Amino acid sequence: MKDSLLTPLKQLRLSGLADCLEVRLQEASGNQLSYEQFLELILQDEIIIRQERQINRRTKAAQFRELKTLEDFDWQFNNTINKKQMYDFACGKFIRQAEDILFLGPPGTGKSHLVQAVGYQAVKNGHTVRYRSIFDLVRDFRQDGALEEIDKVLAKYLKPDLLIIDDMGMKQLPRHSGEYLFEVIMRRYEIRSTIMTSNRPLEDWGKLLGDVPSATAILDRFLHHAEIVQITGKSYRLKNSAAKKTRKIQKIEL
């Protein structure tokens, strides 16, 4: 490709178009495309590449623990999970309506996979997402300088269209955790959507946070426009562990 063509494309920041132009020129020549058809193709190339880059940037900013999809989920393992409901969540209507979702259930039943999958689909749908465990959230507020830069810390939790707070209930949280969580939930209330997961019943939240009034205030706001998803069943991780042990025993016996 001539530099006289490549240079202005780079100056105009049309790198996607530039990357595909050589192939498109050959295609246009071989298939005798009209000017209009050729222009449509190269503009589509630029749009697609820009969309892919935006998704990659939003995915990185979301800070998912793992990149999960609903297609990867083992629906056969736990038939108590409503597959249609999960795909409805992935469509993002609850985000557009600033509603919340609470996933309750024992460890290992797929909560983290499902919420990250819903979050990733939200990213692909054009939404901004932030994924943090409850421990990450507390650590962000307790870190050195957090009190002096409280607005910056809060902004990270208030700006995303969807905030996912995972792992509530794994263990008791440090002092003031309830205050931090309440501040986030209160400020997002009826403005942005939040998803939370917990392996403990709601009546235990006061003990986990060490602050019954804060827990009550958090749940009062969070549950007002929230859909509760109750998941039951055995741990998927324990099932895989048991299967591996069985295969190992079988090999030894052979």
> Is the alpha carbon torsion for 215, 193, 143, 197 positive or negative?
positive
Residue 244 within a domain: no
The Cα–Cα gap between 114 and 100 comes to: 15
158 pLDDT exceeds 90?
A: yes
Token code pair at residue 200: 């403990």
Q: 107 and 180: one domain?
A: yes
The pLDDT value recorded for residue 242 is 44
Buried b (16+ CB within 10 A) or exposed e, 71-80: eebeeeebee
Please tell me whether residues 42 and 94 are part of one structural domain.
no
Is 92 within the bounds of a domain? yes
138 and 202 in one domain?
yes
Domain assignment present for 252: no
Q: Which of 6-20, 108-122, 132-146, 236-250 has the lowest mean pLDDT?
A: 236-250
Match 């892919």 to its residue by tokens.
52
181 and 139 within one domain: yes
Read off the CATH number of the domain in which 104 is found: 3.40.50.300
One domain for residues 215 and 98? yes
- The upper half-sphere exposure of residue 25, i.e. CA atoms within 13 Å in the direction of its Cβ, equals 9
Q: Is residue 50 domain-resident?
A: yes
- Name the average pLDDT for the chain: 89
Q: What pLDDT, on a 0 to 100 scale, did the predictor assign at position 238?
A: 58
pLDDT, position 142: 86
Q: What is the pLDDT of residues 19-65, one digit of tens each?
A: 888 888 888 889 989 989 989 998 998 899 999 999 999 999 999 99
Are 127 and 187 found together in one domain?
yes
CA dihedral angle for residue 206, residue 209, residue 213, residue 217, rounded to 10 degrees: -90
Query: Do 124 and 188 share a domain, yes or no?
Result: yes
How many domains, in total, are found in the chain? 2
What is the pLDDT, as a whole number, of residue 170? 79
Q: What is d(CA 24, CA 8) in angstroms, rounded to the nearest whole number? A: 18
Of 78, 103, 8, nearest to 236 (Cα)? 78
Residues 121 and 41 in one domain: no
pLDDT tens per residue across span 177-226:
999 999 999 999 999 999 999 999 999 999 999 999 999 999 999 999 99
Q: CB atoms < 10 A from the CB of 83, how many?
A: 11
| Residue at 72 is within a domain | no
* Inside any domain, residue 142: yes
Q: Is residue 23 part of a domain?
A: yes
Specify whether 34 is located in the same domain as 137: no
**Domain identity same for 105 and 155:** yes
- Separation between Cα atoms, residue 192 and residue 226, nearest integer Å: 12
14 and 93 together in one domain: no
- Shared-domain flag, residues 186 and 234: yes
Residue 71 lies in a domain: no
Residue 236 Cα distances to 76, 107, 209, 233, 241, angstroms: 11, 9, 28, 9, 9
Q: For residue 54, what are the domain limits?
A: 3-62
Helical spans, DSSP H, in 12-149: 15-31, 35-62, 83-91, 93-96, 111-124, 134-142
Pair 65, 116: CB distance under 8 Å: yes
